[in-house]
Chain A
């Protein structure tokens, strides 16, 4: 199995965790580390790759390209949807830059 996941940085204060959850994707609220979760599900041979820098670059690129094509993209969507999405992208990027959100790729095999 291969998967990517976005999660709260470890060791955040309660306030920082709330900010991470507000800025991240809907379900970002991992309470246990992924390795422990995977091992409990009998996955072995776990490879974890931190891709937070690439995550930051991609998030930044989505924001920049969306802003540069704002009029065209907004016209394709329901009223207000594009502006809301842009605000979400800005909040996500700020959270990444604040060290609140990480992203990793996992390659795992069933034991």
Chain B
């Protein structure tokens, strides 16, 4: 993907995440993926649960979710398993929504949001036990 393509993609996602989450959009998401976590892609609740089981996620783990958008599925996995999570992406608007959702879900102290590109993550090696990313490295 060229730099121009990447910048265009980023601008489109900024625009998309800048639209306030509405009741109708939440209802559409519930009907499509089975939950209401600000998702707009193809990872369903069942798939997120499969990640939790397959990765053996637990409250002892520190999870990194790359390209998380509005915090999906990282925040859900933190709620479901008790793990700590850092969700990352470039569009700031999405991470603002994620921060609000983390507060609503009582994840204060267990969830962090970091603006970062997958190609330049600002974390030391070994900072996380588990990493997830959904439809980022297409």
Contact = CB atoms under 8 A, between A and B. Distances in A.
Given A3-B137, A65-B32, A73-B25, A107 B19 contact: no
B121 interface: no
B118 to A, nearest CB: 11
Contacts of A54: 44, 46-47
Judged by DSSP, the binding face of A is mixed
B132 A3 contact: yes
Contacts of B44: 54, 58
Contacts, number: 89
B54 A28 contact: no
Nearest to B42: A58
B32 A51 contact: no
Given A1-B131, A73-B25, A105 B47 contact: yes
A26 B19 contact: no
Contact of B42 (A27, A55, A72): A55
B1 A26 contact: yes
B19 A76 contact: yes
A65 B6 CA distance: 28
B55 interface: yes
Interface residues of A, number: 35
B45 to A, nearest CB: 11
B133 A3 contact: yes
A42 interface: no
Contacts of B24: 69, 72-73, 76
Contact of A107 (B15, B43, B55): B55
A108 to B, nearest CB: 10
Nearest to B24: A72
A105 B28 contact: no
Interface string B34-64: 0000000011101100110011000000000
4 closest Cβ contacts across the A-B interface? A2-B51, A61-B32, A25-B138, A107-B54
10 contacts: A3-B133, A3-B136, A6-B138, A26-B9, A30-B138, A54-B46, A65-B32, A76-B25, A107-B54, A107-B55
